[in-house]
Amino acid sequence: MHLMQPIQITDLHKSFGPVDVLNGVDLTFHPAETTAIVGPNGAGKTTLIKCILGLTHPDRGDIDVLGQSIDQGVTYRDQIGYMPQHAHFPENLSGRQMMSMIRALRAASDDGDTDIDHSLIRTLQLEADLDKPFRVLSGGTRQKISALLAFMVRPAILILDEPTAGLDPVSSAALKDHIMERRDEGASVVLTSHVLADLEELADRVVFLLDGRIRFDGALDDLRSMTGEHRLERAIATLLEGEAA
C-alpha cells in the first residue's frame, strides 16, 4: 500500500468555450477505497477522468498522482489501470497480443510492473478467446479483455468507466468480486456507472458532481442518512431535486 495519496486534485477548472465543465474541483482519492463518481450527463465526470489521465489539459489547477504532478511527464500513467466505457482495439490483433504490447511498454518504464494478473483470465474464462482476433469477438468478450488489460499489472489506481456494461450476470459478478479484492489489497478504485446498483454494491464513498462542482463527497451511509433514502438511485434523485429547488 502506498503511503501517499494516490490522487490529489486541487482547484481544478476546465471550460469548453463558454461552458464551465469543471469549476474549482478539490478531490482526494485514498488507498483501499472505491469512490463512485456520480451525476447527470454533462456534470463533468468524463472530463474529470480525462484530466487525470492527461487526455485533456485543465485550464487551471493541480493534479498529483502518487506524489507526482501530471505536468512532469506521463510515467505516472504506469500506475493506473484504465477501463474505458468503449474500448477500441485493432481488429487484426488478439487479446494476447495486446497484453504483450502493454507488458512491453510497462517494462520499458522505470517503474513498470510486469506481474500479470492471471487470476482474472481464469475468473472471466478468457483463455479460449485470447488468441482470436478482435474482429471475431462479441462485445461482451471485448469488454472482458478491456477489464483484463486494466487489471493485468495490478496497478495502484484503477479507473473504471461503466465496467459491467455488456457483461452477462456471471461475468459481471466475477468482475465486481475482483474489483473488491483489488480494493482490499490497497488499490484506489474510481468508478463511474449508470448502473447505480453496481455502485451501491461496490462504493465506499460517493462524489456527486453537478455543473462542474462537487455537491456531495462522503460515505454512502452518510448520503443515505442525509437524504433519508436507502437506495442510491433515490438518494441521488433527492440531491438533484434539492439542487433544482
In this structure, the number of other CB atoms found within 10 A of the CB of residue 92 comes to: 9
- What's the longest Cα–Cα distance across the chain? 55
**Summary mean pLDDT of the chain:** 90
Q: How many helices (H) and strands (E) does the chain have?
A: 8, 10
Residue 29, H or E segment: strand 19-29
| pLDDT greater at residue 107 or residue 197 | 197
pLDDT at 112: 44
Name the pLDDT band for 109 (thresholds 50, 70, 90).
low
DSSP state of 112: -
- Percent of the chain, pLDDT > 90? 75
- Looking at the predicted structure, is the pLDDT value of residue 194 above 70? yes
CA dist., res. 136 & res. 130, Å (int): 11
Instruction: Work out the average pLDDT over 15-19.
Output: 93
User: Structural domains in the chain?
Assistant: 7-244 (3.40.50.300)
SS3 185: coil
Burial degree of 238 (CB within 10 A; 0-12, 13-18, 19+) = middle
pLDDT at 113: 47
CA dist., res. 156 & res. 112, Å (int): 12
pLDDT at 108: 57
> Of 240, 223, 208, 183, whose CA–CA distance to 30 is shortest?
183
| pLDDT greater at residue 183 or residue 108 | 183
Residue 11, H or E segment: strand 7-16
pLDDT at 211: 92
- Grid cell at residue 22: 469543471
| pLDDT greater at residue 103 or residue 22 | 22
pLDDT at 243: 72
| pLDDT greater at residue 230 or residue 244 | 230
Lowest mean pLDDT among 86-90, 111-115, 184-188: 111-115
pLDDT at 87: 87
In this structure, the number of other CB atoms found within 10 A of the CB of residue 169 comes to: 8
- Grid cell at residue 153: 499489472
- Looking at the predicted structure, is the pLDDT value of residue 107 above 70? no
Residue 66: alpha-carbon gap to chain centroid: 16
Instruction: Work out the average pLDDT over 24-36.
Output: 97
- Grid cell at residue 180: 473488491
- Looking at the predicted structure, is the pLDDT value of residue 144 above 50? yes
Instruction: Work out the average pLDDT over 147-156.
Output: 90
> Of 53, 8, 69, whose CA–CA distance to 155 is shortest?
53
Instruction: Work out the average pLDDT over 19-44.
Output: 95
- Grid cell at residue 81: 489501470
- Looking at the predicted structure, is the pLDDT value of residue 1 above 50? no
pLDDT at 34: 97
- Grid cell at residue 199: 455502485
SS3 200: helix
Contact predicate 31/24, CB 8 Å: no
pLDDT at 240: 86
- Looking at the predicted structure, is the pLDDT value of residue 165 above 80? yes
Torsion sign across C-alpha atoms 229, 231, 234, 235: positive
